[in-house]
Structure 1
Amino acid sequence: MKVAVMGAGAIGCFYGGLLARAGAAVTLVGRAQHVDAVRERGLLVEMGGETHVVPVGATTSANGVAGAELVLFCVKSGDTEVVGAEMAPHLAHDATILSFQNGVDNAARLGAVLGRLVVPVAVYVATDMAGPGHVRHHGRGDLLIGPSARGAEILTLFAAAGISARVSEDAIGALWGKLVVNCAYNALSALTRMPYGRMIRQDGVEAVMRDVVAECRAVAAASGVALAPDILDAVLGLAAMMPDQFSSTAQDLRRGKPTEIDHLNGFVVRRGAELGVPTPANRVLLTLVKAAEKAKEG
């Protein structure tokens, strides 16, 4: 199967690299620094204490998706519409598009731009970019994929690459669950500049996380989404599972890049306002991260 990865960041490089190692014809579409490094010496995939050099195609142009049967859409939430419009003219008419993005509405937003079905995917992995064209894996890697006509074929492809995946009718519900985790951890990790294990031990942090989860639960319920009854336990337990992990928001702030906070805590704040659900804890975290972004700019 010919695969294109739109957005060669940590998520795109990790899954694209695994698929390429398994023999899929993969093209990464990303920024020049990553593309140049991959073209020069291959993609570096660091996992399990080993670093693998993976030959893979790479380009900076959206026409890299041309002819692909499967497109993994891995760009930041704020870039969904712009990048979707750039790749639209090059998509094969029968291409299956998987949204490997944070937030709960990216698949719908991208589908509106493309005028076709986009399949939501809940991605459970800890990765970062150690350098240009060098992705580092810290934990997990399983996927929960919405239904599509190619579902069985996609699962076979991923299984051959050692990627644990399953198809579920409730992929959006899973994305809501992931959103709650992100709302509880991302901003706090960024603002404290701490990994999860150290962060959660600070006075008052767990109480703030509980407030954030309660607000997210209320907004989800008002939206007709039933979160898992043990969502709070799952959120608080993550720090022990990934004690050394910094959130993607923390990584973005450190590098002076725009964060996805508008599509995490910001989404909860906007949705809460629409439904009349108060979200003061999420609003404070949103405001502080936005202020930190501005401080980095100036």
Structure 2
Amino acid sequence: MRAGADVSVIARGPHLAAIRENGLLIEAKDGTFHGRPKATDDARDIGEQDIVIVSVKAPSLPQIAGGLRPLLGAGTRVVFAMNGIPWWYFHAHGGPFDARRLDRIDPGGRVWSAASPDRVIGAIAYTACTVSRPGVIHAENLRNRIILGRPDGVPDEQTDRLAALLAAGGLEIEVTDRIRDAIWAKLLMNLTGGTLGVLAASAMRDALSHPILGDVADRIAAEGAAIAQALGCDPGDHGTVRARLSVSGHKQSILQDLELGRAMEIDALFRVPLEIARLADVPTPTLDVVVALVIQRAKAAGLYAE
């Protein structure tokens, strides 16, 4: 909207009602922005789009798959701005795992069939946002950065167009031909901060003040990096993960979900990376323990089922 694009929003419940009545308010460190996008809970109301951005949590993917179809024209690109391993990860990957489906994230291939991985633009977001009340988004970061890239790494006019629109809207945008490197760089933060955040029920700044948890964080990051490297990815310096998390007073999103009683992204963030580790024959002794504990915590809260 800020860049002059015609924007529509698909939302539900009180959030939808608030946007329809009052518009959408973004509270950021550099000021506030108020817009009035078209808002609906039925994709058929808005029809085919040039670009569709999907930002639901991974557990909701199967439920929204059918709703994507009315939005897709012949040249529509679909951006999946989500944490963890994406459902399309092995599309155009090359090597022995090329085109492998991830049924734990996309059971029955519903999203694969509805969206088609050929349309995908991968997106990694470095933002710390919360819905402070219906229709109001509070962004805590001074820098809100998004990395975009196609699974096949081939330059794409629509990706560049999207990048220009988002940058004009005030976001810090990078386009990469190695989007999987960016996926793993963010995932090291999620594997470390997400697991320890849930188990410690704390922001990382508090949890990592304990030396033993700091050592565990280092081992988790190292194991995550080993998985990435076994797949030919460069996740960056895993030795900096603890230091970067240690300054964060923001609760990890998966801990927020636990506290608010929302479905937790156990599979995309934790279980699928471990399944990939088994495929690549990478040992993950520390992750095996902490992920098992997080799964049990989520099950005990009634927020995760096999």
The yes-or-no answer on 1:232 pairing with 2:239 is yes
The yes-or-no answer on 1:264 pairing with 2:269 is yes
Q: CA deviation at 1:105?
A: 2.7
Out of 3, 7, 10, the residue aligned to residue 29 of structure 1 is 10
Q: Is the 8 A contact 2:57 2:265 kept in 1?
A: yes
Counterpart for residue 179 of structure 2: 171
Q: CA deviation at 1:236?
A: 1.6
Q: Deviations over 1:13-36 (max 9, x none)?
A: xxxxxxx23332211112212101
Q: Report the CA distance shift for 1:83/1:35 in structure 2 as closer, same or farther (over 3 A).
A: same
Size of the aligned set, in residue pairs, is: 276
Counterpart for residue 145 of structure 1: 148
Q: Is the 8 A contact 1:184 1:209 kept in 2?
A: yes
The yes-or-no answer on 1:211 pairing with 2:225 is no
The yes-or-no answer on 1:94 pairing with 2:75 is yes
Counterpart for residue 99 of structure 2: none
Q: Is the 8 A contact 2:184 2:225 kept in 1?
A: no
Q: Is the 8 A contact 2:48 2:70 kept in 1?
A: no
Q: Is the 8 A contact 1:28 1:56 kept in 2?
A: yes
Identity, % of aligned positions: 26
TM-score, structure 2 normalization:
0.83
Counterpart for residue 95 of structure 2: none
TM-score, structure 1 normalization:
0.85
Counterpart for residue 66 of structure 2: 85
Equivalent residue of 1:53, what SS?
strand
Gaps of 5+ in 1: 1-19
Equivalent residue of 2:167, what SS?
helix
Which piece of structure 1 moves more, 104-113 or 246-255? 104-113
- Which letter does structure 2 place at the counterpart of 1:142? R
Out of 54, 66, 69, the residue aligned to residue 73 of structure 1 is 54
Q: CA deviation at 1:194?
A: 1.1
Counterpart for residue 256 of structure 2: 251
Counterpart for residue 9 of structure 1: none
- Which letter does structure 1 place at the counterpart of 2:300? A
Distance in 2 (alpha carbons) for counterparts of 1:225 and 1:167: 17
Q: CA RMSD in A?
A: 2.1
Which piece of structure 1 moves more, 140-149 or 49-58? 49-58
Counterpart for residue 199 of structure 1: 207
Judging by fraction of residues, say which structure has more helix: 1
Distance in 1 (alpha carbons) for counterparts of 2:166 and 2:31: 21
Counterpart for residue 162 of structure 1: 170
Q: Deviations over 1:236-256 (max 9, x none)?
A: 222354x21100111100111
Distance in 1 (alpha carbons) for counterparts of 2:46 and 2:126: 24
Equivalent residue of 1:215, what SS?
helix
Correspondences of 1:42-121 after superposition (within 5 Å): 42-48=23-29, 50-63=31-44, 66-108=47-89, 110-115=111-116, 116-121=118-123
The yes-or-no answer on 1:130 pairing with 2:112 is no
Q: CA deviation at 1:91?
A: 1.4
Q: CA deviation at 1:99?
A: 1.4
Distance in 1 (alpha carbons) for counterparts of 2:280 and 2:81: 27
